[in-house]
A and B are shown apart, each in its own frame.
Chain A
Amino acid sequence: MAAGEDEKLDAEARLAARLDKGGLKGGLTGGPGASAEKDERPSERQDPKPAAKAAATKLDPTEVAIRVKGVTKTFGLKNAVDDLTLTIHAGSVFGLIGPNGAGKTTTFSMMAGYLKPSQGSLEILGFAPDRVDDLRGKLGVLPQDALLPANDRVGEFLVDMARLQGIPAPDAIRAARDALQEVDGQTWWGTRCGALSHGMAKRVQLAQALLGDPKVVLLDEPTAGLDPRIAYEVRQIIKGRKGRCTLVVSSHNLSELEEVCDGAAILDRGRLMASGTMSELTAATEEVRFKVPPLASGPAITLAAVEPTARAPMAAIRELPMVSLAEYDDERGELIVHFDRTRPDVDAERVIGAVLWVLLQHQVRISGVSKGRGLEQRVMDLTDKP
């Protein structure tokens, strides 16, 4: 067997294995955009945790959970956040995205009531964030850089937090244990917070944020510094909460945000650059991208113009009725297929299926498929421009 054929078979075997493991959409996630299809992996999920069992109520997605109106926060002469306006609907998972200094943590801190806006107003469930009594037990926050009290034992700390949330003393221990169980930390009950590793401390902080099933949960860098397995588990916890509470996640990890979020706001230098659903931000409902072998160098050269063996698939793809435009991005090594999203019978999955069929028929090697241009690309396009 020729070496080229071996490689092709290997690639197909890997593809098949990934398809088996994660399903078509999850398995072909070469680019970040494809992860808009959520990888639930039900077989790998653990039994529902007690807190999850407790709150099965779904929130009404038409209700507004968080409203940010014309908010500016000034530190000295610098505007950390500049005239920011956002609306986050109940039950959604919303991401705050941006480079360092974009204003994510400042926005987050104003939502949590840690910082007061210099101008504008914020509302959480209809209340200003400093209305502690009105928001008691309804707002949970995982601050990025707040250390746990080192001398407190984990259980004691969580019980104290539960009591302050208004949970009566007899139920506070149960609520604390449930929250700790949700982050797989049952065995840390008697451990001093100062003795926890970074990952364990992060999960205890997450437990205090989820304590008592709050309606709005703000998570600042929830997986920063965690090993991949724990980060995965944290993402599963976030996904498990989807629909039952409103989650705002601030993170630098774009693939993570793309995986868990329904919508996001992209910030840069304190300003809102874009916001919307993840599909809108990544154009996942307008285009699909296929990683296919690199072509001759040059900007945006079509397959048909360069590679005779690929001419046929390119032509065939362009002839597909749902395809409005097909081009090759030589720089990224991607075939970009645009489609008419206004047609009711056309969606990204149908286009992926049809184009894959053509590519496979022509034995083109495919190393990845993504819906849209990917959040990372979108963020790069929007941020840090002079």
Chain B
Amino acid sequence: MNPLLEIWLVAARDCRKNIRSLKGLAMAGIALLGALACTFKLPKFEEAMDQARDLAPDQMLEVKAQIFGKIYGDEATGHRLAGAPIKLVLLFFIAVWLAPLLVMIVGFDGISSDLQYRSVRYWTLRTRRPSYYVGKFLALWSIIGLLTLFMQLIIWTVTIVRADAPAGETIAWGLRFWATSLPITGAWCGMATLTSSLARTPMLSLLTTSVVFFLLFFAGFVIGKGGDVMPLRFLYPNNFDAWIVSAKPERVLEGLGVCVAYILVTVGAGSALFVQRDV
């Protein structure tokens, strides 16, 4: 059998399982609440910012460009993002920062629960182990992608209904931001699948994943970005967002390359370890 078909069958089943499970429903509920909270809070934030500064739209655009330019470390990127509905920019920012938490909650039991109850044995008999592993990773990535898309859809709907921005512009920017967040969530999913496959019980996996994610945050963001230690920056996938949203195509490609490399390293290492282990 083609390994791609194996991967598809494993991933499709896992997506079904996640969406139908209590955890899936709970995650959908959290996503809904999060999106609604953003939707109703952000207009106030926007209005407050407008009133406080008492600026004309053009000036406001310039202020936004400066703020975003500072956040993402590039003036051109700031100007590019200033044209987007502010709600969507902030949702992108929040989605990226909450990605590790979301991935950890959804993915901690992906492989570890199969290992704990040994149901993995039904699969390893019928699929190559790398296919099983990659299928699990892709399922997690897809679920996270669907959850973030769900949040985006709510924001888009509210933005369009409130006439905060034209529908076409909202959807175009929304899709762009959602697609931009995907490589970063993919990197987190790769790491979560790796830690989940190394633990024999879901509880241990949750603990391990949270510790590993915190260490990555500390090493990659606090020391790496804060202390400007370049190699350490690559440990923390959220550092890659500045590259991916950049206005410069070569920076975007670099960001994508780093994310892909992160995914390949974590999935490759996890898969290789999974092949070697006893189940």
Whether A associates with B in a native complex is yes
User: Whole-angstrom distance between the alpha carbons of A148 and B120 in the complex?
Assistant: 10
B278 at the interface (CB under 8 A from A): yes
Contact A164 B21 (CB under 8 A): no
Q: Would A116 and B119 be within 8 Å (CB), given that A139-B125, A151-B21, A165-B126 are in contact? A: no
A237 at the interface (CB under 8 A from B): no
Q: Would A164 and B126 be within 8 Å (CB), given that A149-B17, A151-B21, A152-B17 are in contact? A: yes
**Complex contacts, B10 vs chain A, CB 8 Å:** 164
Contact B20 A164 (CB under 8 A): no
**CB contact list, A124-149 vs B, under 8 A:** 132-133, 136, 139, 141, 143, 145-149
B9 at the interface (CB under 8 A from A): yes
Proximity string of chain A (302-321) to chain B, C-beta cutoff 8 Å, 1 when within and 0 when not: 00000000000000000000
A256 at the interface (CB under 8 A from B): no
Q: Is the interface of A mostly helix, strand, loop or mixed?
A: loop
**Complex contacts, A166 vs chain B, CB 8 Å:** 1
User: Whole-angstrom distance between the alpha carbons of A317 and B9 in the complex?
Assistant: 68
**Complex contacts, B129 vs chain A, CB 8 Å:** 132
Proximity string of chain B (115-146) to chain A, C-beta cutoff 8 Å, 1 when within and 0 when not: 00111111111111100000000000000000
Minimum Cβ distance to chain B for residue A310 (Å): 56
Contact B17 A151 (CB under 8 A): yes
A358 at the interface (CB under 8 A from B): no
Chain A: CB-nearest residue to B8 = A163
Minimum Cβ distance to chain B for residue A153 (Å): 10
B41 at the interface (CB under 8 A from A): no
Minimum Cβ distance to chain A for residue B7 (Å): 11
Contact B119 A114 (CB under 8 A): no
**Complex contacts, B117 vs chain A, CB 8 Å:** 146-147
Minimum Cβ distance to chain A for residue B128 (Å): 5
The count of residues in chain B whose C-beta lies closer than 8 Å to any C-beta of chain A is: 24
B13 at the interface (CB under 8 A from A): yes
Minimum Cβ distance to chain B for residue A88 (Å): 18
Contact A160 B9 (CB under 8 A): yes
User: Whole-angstrom distance between the alpha carbons of A133 and B3 in the complex?
Assistant: 9
**Complex contacts, A152 vs chain B, CB 8 Å:** 17
**Complex contacts, B279 vs chain A, CB 8 Å:** 114-115
Which of B9, B13, B126 has the most CB atoms of chain A within a 10 A radius of its CB?
A: B126
The count of residues in chain A whose C-beta lies closer than 8 Å to any C-beta of chain B is: 26
Q: Choose from B118, B119, B128 the contact partner of A132 (Cβ within 8 Å).
A: B128
User: Whole-angstrom distance between the alpha carbons of A113 and B17 in the complex?
Assistant: 26
User: Whole-angstrom distance between the alpha carbons of A208 and B117 in the complex?
Assistant: 17
Minimum Cβ distance to chain A for residue B102 (Å): 21
**Complex contacts, A247 vs chain B, CB 8 Å:** none
**Complex contacts, B127 vs chain A, CB 8 Å:** 132, 164
Q: Choose from A114, A133, A151, A161 the contact partner of B124 (Cβ within 8 Å).
A: A114
Q: Would A113 and B20 be within 8 Å (CB), given that A136-B1, A160-B13 are in contact? A: no
**Complex contacts, B17 vs chain A, CB 8 Å:** 149, 151-152
B241 at the interface (CB under 8 A from A): no
Contact A141 B121 (CB under 8 A): yes
A284 at the interface (CB under 8 A from B): no
User: Whole-angstrom distance between the alpha carbons of A284 and B6 in the complex?
Assistant: 49
**Complex contacts, A208 vs chain B, CB 8 Å:** 122
Minimum Cβ distance to chain B for residue A368 (Å): 41
**CB contact list, A149-176 vs B, under 8 A:** 149, 151-152, 160-161, 163-166
Chain B: CB-nearest residue to A116 = B278
**CB contact list, B1-54 vs A, under 8 A:** 1, 6, 9-10, 13, 17, 20-21
Which of B6, B119, B120 has the most CB atoms of chain A within a 10 A radius of its CB?
A: B119
A112 at the interface (CB under 8 A from B): yes
Contact A145 B118 (CB under 8 A): yes
Q: Chain B residues in contact with chain A, CB under 8 A?
A: 1, 6, 9-10, 13, 17, 20-21, 117-129, 276, 278-279
A-B contact pairs, 22 of them (CB 8 A): A109-B278, A112-B121, A113-B124, A113-B125, A114-B278, A114-B279, A133-B128, A136-B126, A145-B118, A146-B117, A146-B118, A146-B120, A146-B122, A147-B118, A149-B17, A149-B119, A151-B21, A160-B13, A161-B122, A163-B9, A164-B6, A164-B9
Known: A146-B119, A208-B122. 8 other contacts (CB 8 A): A112-B125, A116-B278, A136-B126, A143-B121, A147-B118, A164-B9, A164-B126, A164-B127
Closest 7 CB pairs of A and B: A164-B126, A146-B118, A147-B117, A146-B121, A115-B278, A143-B121, A166-B1
